[in-house]
Each structure stands twice: as structure tokens, then as C-alpha cells.
Amino acid sequence: MQEYIQKRVLEICAYILETGATVRQAARRFNVSKSTVHKDMTERLPSLNKELAASVKQILEQNKAERHLRGGEATRKKYRQPA
């Protein structure tokens, strides 16, 4: 794996661990695609550091479990009538 990819993987990992960010938020922050973030966290990170990969996986699973709630809230805000 090339050095700049390793650096990006570890930076994204640190960001997700610090903030609990979603894949979309991390992608926006690092100006890469969601697919890149997902591949970095699920395929590349385990080859660099298994402990960090397990921690990130736990956060990503939690975000995945909560995403239907965030989507519902976004829809509610979108259609909320002005007071």
C-alpha cells in the first residue's frame, strides 16, 4: 500500500474515532468519496492496525443502526411548517 494511502487511512480513522462521524461526514471532510472511506475503513485499516479497525467498525455499525432515525429527522425538518 502506498504511503499517502496509509496516511489517509490513519487520518480518517482518527477523525471517526474522535468525532463518531459517519462515512458521509468523513468523506466530505477529507474530500474523497464514500466508497473510498468505506474501503479504507473495512479493507485497508485492518491490514495496518487491527485494534483501530475494530474500534472504527463498532462506530460505523452504530451509525448504520441509527441512520433510519437521522433520515426521519431530516424529513421532518424538511416538511415542518413555519410557525
Q: What b/e string do you get for 18-53 counting C-beta neighbours within 10 Å, with b at 16 or more?
A: eeebbbebbbeeeeeeeebbeebbeebbeeeeeebb
pLDDT at 83: 58
- Average pLDDT on 65-82 reads 85
- Average pLDDT on 54-72 reads 91
Phi, psi of 33 (to 5 degrees): -80, 160
pLDDT at position 81 over 80: no
Q: Which three cell numbers stand for residue 80?
A: 415542518
Residue 17 makes CB contacts below 8 A (sequence gap 6+) with 52, 55, 56, 59
CB 53 within 8 A of CB 46: yes
pLDDT digits 0-9 by tens, 25-48:
999 999 999 999 999 999 999 999
